[in-house]
Structure 1
Amino acid sequence: MTPSLSPAQMSARIVRYGELRPCKTAFIDAHTPGSDQKENFTIIGGGVSESPDQHVHINDTPGFNIGAAGQPPKCRNSLHSHRTAEVFFVLKGRWRFFWGRWGTAGEVVLEEGDIINIPTGIFRGFENIGTDYGMIMAVLGGDDAGGGVIWAPQVIEDAKDHGLVLGDNGALYDSHKGQDLPEGVAPMPLLSEAELQSFPEPTTAEVVPHHVARYWDLMALADRQPAKVIGADACLRDRPGFEVDFLTRGSAPDAAETHDTHTVLMPMRGHWRLTWDGGTDVLNPGDTCLLPPGLPHHVAPAVTGEASLYRVRATDDPAGATLRT
């Protein structure tokens, strides 16, 4: 039986950019100078937040998680690693991504619309190097996003000096709020030097060609048909548990489509009219829409001008991102 959704039911599956609820204490570096102005957003799925204060907009997970990070100029996210894929595209601003044990192995600057598929198993961080508040949208592989974050040792040590301790249960404890580690909970152990040796230190030349796609290149590729951005046969050839396509005015589908997996629509530029069996609505830049499997739907630009949209669909692949050189 083909599913249908009422406008109210679809509204509950759309998270509007202007209604995002930030958390400023999501991670261990929330008090560390230089990182203490971050805002983290958990849009679809529980993500990897370490704080009970994190609001989750849509609890269902379609095989991956969707989140976002908002930061003022000169604010950075500290070095960490994930066990599953972490993909970012820049919604607003100008961002520097860096990686390696000390963040010095390599780096790349991304502009609005650019996308990066960061390999699992390397330390990475990012900072807003623009002049205004910036926002990056994130796709994390797996329903549980790999079970959390692995922090570089210096991040944990710096956080302790500013009142935050991460327990070995994955929860944060804030001395600013009078919190101590509960009985039976030990501090998260630091990675040993032997363990740190297993984290790769790829150069910029090794990462960028295989893990970064530029917005205007994708606009050209998607002139007449959707551009395959991440996937087995895509620009960034990988199988991280989801695939990413890029649509423009010229490659928007002519007729309704039906997919047998969950589909997430994330407009980058322009206003997109979504029509489905049950109603119609408009998606704007920064909005996130979760479509269920089997729902016939059609999406197309609603007004004239530049229009682009990232589309994410679940796959049966493992939820990791392979380092390709």
Structure 2
Amino acid sequence: MEKKTYSNEEIEKNWVVRFDELKHNAIPLMFIDSIIPGHQRLNYAIIGDTASENDTYSPAITEPHNFQLGMVKAPPGNGPAYHTHEYIESFFVLTGKWRFYWGHENDPEKVEGETIIGQWDLISLPPGLFRGFENASDEDAWLFSILEPHKVFSGRDPIWSPQIVKHAAEHGFHSDENGKMIKPENFSELEKQMAEKLRVGVK
């Protein structure tokens, strides 16, 4: 491998992510479920697309990596709706407590197991297993996510429970066969409203 040299300025500009800057660049409507009450949260793309259905945003570090990193901040009782991926998805709790629940069927009424994990705990979820999770704390909480590399917008991802797809559609949110969000005409307005509700600046 050819050795490449980097200046201090290049490292700072392209390879360092500072939380004080990142926290102002949240994605309030990253997925079609993000509009549904009980699933509203802020997503942060650090490395890779982190399964986003919204193609508007770039990760904090754009250099290609063989993994993908993101973060989630959610109010109490909120978190991603029932879904699955065709790759491993792992979560490390930064603050608060989180309830994870899962099952082999795509029906969120047929959950087969659940657990609550706290700060510094990690859960790794296998491909094909449906899962949902929510902030089980009484204040906003943070998760750190690690995903296996995967192709972007080459198929539906996440793969949602049909109930979630129907519920999102009631709010005007859909995704196409490539997994890209079909945004309602008032998307920008809804995004600003969600950002304000969750108290964050939006690009």
TM-score tier by shorter-chain length is: 0.7 to 0.9
Structure 1 position 87, deviation (Å): 0.8
Contact 2:172 2:184 in 1 (8 A): yes
Query: Per the alignment, do residues 172 and 86 of structure 1 end up closer, same or farther by CA in structure 2, a change over 3 Å counting?
Result: same
- Matched to 2:20, the amino acid is G
- Describe how 1:208-219 pairs up with structure 2 within 5 A: none
Equivalence for 2:7: 6
Equivalence for 2:184: 175
SS in 1 for 2:80: strand
SS in 2 for 1:57: coil
Root-mean-square deviation over aligned CA pairs = 2.1
Alignment partners' CA distance in 1, 2:73 and 2:187: 27
Contact 1:51 1:171 in 2 (8 A): yes
Alignment partners' CA distance in 1, 2:75 and 2:129: 25
Task: Work out which of the two has the higher radius of gyration on C-alpha atoms and give 1 or 2.
Answer: 1
- Matched to 2:66, the amino acid is G
Equivalence for 2:28: 24
Which of 75-84 and 96-105 deviates more? Answer: 96-105
Structure 1: which 5+ runs fail to align? 180-325
Equivalence for 2:78: 75
Contact 1:85 1:118 in 2 (8 A): yes
Equivalence for 2:193: none
Q: Tell me which of the two structures has the higher relative contact order, counting C-alpha pairs closer than 8 angstroms and 6 or more residues apart.
A: 2
Query: Per the alignment, do residues 64 and 81 of structure 1 end up closer, same or farther by CA in structure 2, a change over 3 Å counting?
Result: same
- Describe how 1:159-170 pairs up with structure 2 within 5 A: 159-170=168-179
- Matched to 1:128, the amino acid is N
Question: What is the total number of aligned residue pairs between the two structures?
Answer: 178
Structure 2: which 5+ runs fail to align? 189-203
Alignment partners' CA distance in 2, 1:46 and 1:6: 27
Structure 1 position 122, deviation (Å): 0.6
Alignment partners' CA distance in 2, 1:145 and 1:113: 29
Equivalence for 2:164: 155
| Deviation digits for residues 22-76 of structure 1 (CA, Å, limit 9, x no counterpart) | 111110112211113x111110112210112333111223211111111111112
Normalization by structure 1: what TM-score? 0.51
| Deviation digits for residues 247-297 of structure 1 (CA, Å, limit 9, x no counterpart) | xxxxxxxxxxxxxxxxxxxxxxxxxxxxxxxxxxxxxxxxxxxxxxxxxxx
Equivalence for 2:195: none
Equivalence for 1:228: none
- Matched to 2:99, the amino acid is R
Q: Does 1:52 align with 2:55?
A: yes
For residue 102 of structure 2, the aligned residue among 84, 99, 102 is: 99
Q: Structure 1 or 2: larger helix share? A: 2
Alignment partners' CA distance in 1, 2:171 and 2:54: 16
Identity %: 31
Equivalence for 1:259: none
